[in-house]
Amino acid sequence: MSVSDTSSPAITATAAVAAAATSPTAAQLTANLWVTGGALAGAAARPFKRSIEGSTLSDDERSLHEHFMLLAIEAAQQAESLGEVPVGAVLVAPNGEIVATGYNRTITDHDASAHAEIVAMRLAGQKLQNYRLPELTLYVTLEPCCMCIMAAIHARIAKVVYGTSDPRTGACGSVFNISGDPRHNHSLEVVAHIKQEECAQQLRQFFKQRRAAQKQAKQQAKAQAALLSAESNAKS
């Protein structure tokens, strides 16, 4: 019988069940692909990179990073003025030139991808006429999410420096560690917690004010409804 002869009565239900029991499931194959993806692709093993804490840097290095992070904080203020979550980013060349500045514009532009980092990378790409941005350092006030760190990897960004961690969607070690995965075809350096308190306070204050405004709006709506109800009862 030919192996390709699937119409043969020799292929019984029992044999089919036995074959299925010894065959890897789709889930197993997917899991194996995630674990051994780099090896399957023939990629050379790379060391697993972890974020470098800003507090461990020399005074000169930290001072330089703080200078550019302050510019990112200023950009975040522009986002806040538009009612956006205050996250700002700047892309800096090795000579200290500011190549591009970005801030959150998701609500303004009706664009879920318009995070500060993406906006900055788009502007830099247009300016340099190249989607690849090697040698540039990306400063951002909040730890990048999965989308943004992958965009940085695709753009061949040399280094990412962020202010405060994102305990919900951070992809540089807080929740995911996409930046440190050795299977990528580009490895970037990550420096964490530069001007951490300032960046965190900017976000805390924004959400505190927004919650207060939402609470006030609910109270006003409730009071208005009660007034209308009282007027209706008085007329009846």
**Residue 117 appears among annotated catalytic residues:** yes
* Dihedral sign, Cα of residue 65, residue 68, residue 71, residue 75: negative
- Count the Cβ atoms, other than its own, within 10 Å of residue 34: 8
3-class DSSP state for residue 91? strand
Sorted by sequence, the CB contacts under 8 Å of residue 41 that are 6+ apart come out as 183
Radius of gyration for the alpha carbons in the chain, expressed in angstroms and rounded: 26
Instruction: Please give the Cα distance from 67 to 90 (Å, whole number).
Output: 11
Instruction: Please give the Cα distance from 169 to 192 (Å, whole number).
Output: 15
146 has binding-site annotation: no
First to last CA, the chain: 91
* Active-site residue (options: 80, 84, 117, 143): 117
Point out which residues pair with 160 in neighbouring strands: 138, 190
115 has binding-site annotation: yes
- Sole residue written with tokens 């969607």: 169
148 has binding-site annotation: yes
Instruction: Please give the Cα distance from 40 to 35 (Å, whole number).
Output: 10
- Residue list for the binding site: 115, 145, 148
- Residue list for the binding site for Zn(2+): 115, 145, 148
Active site (catalytic) residues: 117
